[in-house]
């Protein structure tokens, strides 16, 4: 321990720069983690965090709510299935909505028939709609004029929705999102286009009968018709077009970051070991145990990774509470723990390459310089 700290004290700049580099990499990793989760939540949070356990699309919709339309015949067939316990309609439209301060936003309105089949699973403020013209908003949109008790006007037509509740992580398509009763969704459509016929539901929200698992219900509904595409709530969110591509892109980035830190620390200690090979050889020759020399390298690696991680975490913490455009960021505790353990393992593991160099030291070299006697 003394040997490790003494060497670091003598080369403050060298070790300080390495710690700063590790800290910057840690910040980038954690920031990208928050960005990935925030991006996915802003696109499909409304699907993942709604209350219906099974969603039924049409195959032609390609698992996009607005691209799916359920004809009356298919709706009746699904409702007649004995594995179906409860069924409700879900309609979705994108409207121009004007907030109280005159700002206009492209806003998604999702209409559900019953709160337990399509509404947000939990509210963080307010209540569920109980009268016509009431809606639930996303807390991520509150600062844009979609807060509690705000009045939002659908344009053109002037249909008004009052936000009586707020839910977390319920955005769709990375924009303002409102949940309302299905009749309010229909009225919003009519206000924009008075000549429009009653819109067909985009998808069906279904709950299984008693004793039927969600996956069993999915298989049962898909067996009704080749035009139906039933998915569990999690599958519907994960298999929305674009989600897997975003995940794969970020996984490549995380893999590269995960490789950079052990490469940087390993190369650093390898260079240092070569530079001080003479001193290490001499220490070994006068009786310093190899284990002590190796332990010194590992202690330095642990200090560098730990200090760098704490610096990166200190920078990441305030940034993770901010909003990036329309994407709300969040402090990812699980990611912090995961990367702390992984990077410590990779960083110290890479330093073992330098430790092998120390283990190979021949004490005779200290006195002979490697010359033949």
The better pLDDT of the pair 129, 197 is held by: 129
Q: Report the pLDDT averaged over residues 338-362.
A: 73
Q: How many CB atoms lie within 10 A of CB 234?
A: 12
Rounded-to-integer distance, Cα 146 and Cα 82, Å: 41
- The fraction of the chain above a pLDDT of 90, given in percent, is 47
Q: What pLDDT digit, counting tens, does each position of 147-190 carry?
A: 999 999 998 889 999 999 999 999 998 889 999 999 999 999 99
373: confidence class by pLDDT, cuts 50, 70, 90 = very low
CA angle, 54 then 55 then 56, to 5°: 125
Instruction: Report whether 168 contacts 139 (CB < 8 A).
Output: yes
- Claim: this prediction has a pTM higher than 0.85: no
Q: Is the pLDDT of residue 365 over 80?
A: no
Predicted pLDDT at 366: 46
Q: Is the pLDDT of residue 25 over 50?
A: yes
Q: Which of 76-80, 139-143, 194-198, 305-309 bottoms out in mean pLDDT, i.e. has the lowest?
A: 194-198
Predicted pLDDT at 146: 93
The better pLDDT of the pair 353, 372 is held by: 353
Q: Is the pLDDT of residue 293 over 70?
A: no
Q: Is the pLDDT of residue 56 over 90?
A: yes
């Amino acid at each position: 321990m003394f040997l490790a700290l003494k060497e670091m004290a003598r080369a403050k700049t060298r070790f300080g720069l390495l710690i700063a580099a590790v800290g910057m990499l840690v910040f980038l990793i954690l920031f990208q983690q928050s960005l990935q989760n925030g991006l996915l939540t802003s696109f499909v949070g409304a699907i993942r965090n709604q209350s219906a356990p099974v969603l039924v699309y049409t195959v032609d919709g390609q698992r996009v709510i607005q691209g799916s339309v359920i004809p009356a015949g298919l709706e009746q067939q699904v409702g007649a299935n004995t594995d179906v316990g409860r069924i409700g309609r879900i309609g979705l439209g994108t409207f121009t909505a004007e907030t109280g301060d005159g700002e206009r936003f492209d806003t998604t309105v999702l209409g559900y028939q019953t709160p337990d089949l399509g509404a947000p699973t939990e509210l963080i403020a307010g209540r569920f709609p109980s009268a016509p013209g009431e809606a639930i908003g996303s807390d991520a949109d509150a600062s844009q004029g979609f807060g509690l008790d705000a009045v939002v006007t659908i344009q053109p037509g002037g249909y008004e929705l009052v936000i009586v509740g707020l839910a977390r992580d319920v955005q769709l398509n990375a924009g303002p999102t409102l949940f309302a009763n299905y009749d309010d969704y229909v009225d919003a459509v009519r206000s924009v286009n008075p000549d429009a016929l009653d819109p067909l539901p985009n998808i069906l929200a279904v709950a299984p009968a008693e004793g039927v698992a969600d996956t069993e219900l999915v298989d049962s509904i898909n067996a009704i018709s080749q035009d139906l595409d039933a998915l569990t709530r999690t599958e519907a969110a994960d298999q929305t077009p674009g989600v897997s591509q975003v995940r794969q892109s970020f996984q490549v980035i995380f893999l590269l970051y995960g490789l950079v830190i052990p490469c940087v620390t390993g190369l650093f200690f390898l260079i240092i070991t070569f530079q001080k090979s003479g001193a290490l050889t001499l220490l070994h020759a006068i009786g310093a145990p190899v284990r002590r020399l190796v332990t010194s390298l590992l202690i330095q690696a642990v200090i560098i990774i730990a200090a760098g991680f704490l610096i990166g975490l200190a920078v990441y913490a305030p940034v993770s509470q901010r909003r990036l455009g329309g994407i709300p960021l969040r402090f990812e505790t699980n990611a912090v723990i995961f990367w702390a353990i992984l990077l410590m393992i990779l960083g110290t593991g890479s330093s073992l390459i330098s430790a092998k160099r120390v283990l190979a030291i021949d004490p005779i070299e200290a006195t002979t310089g490697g010359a033949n006697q």
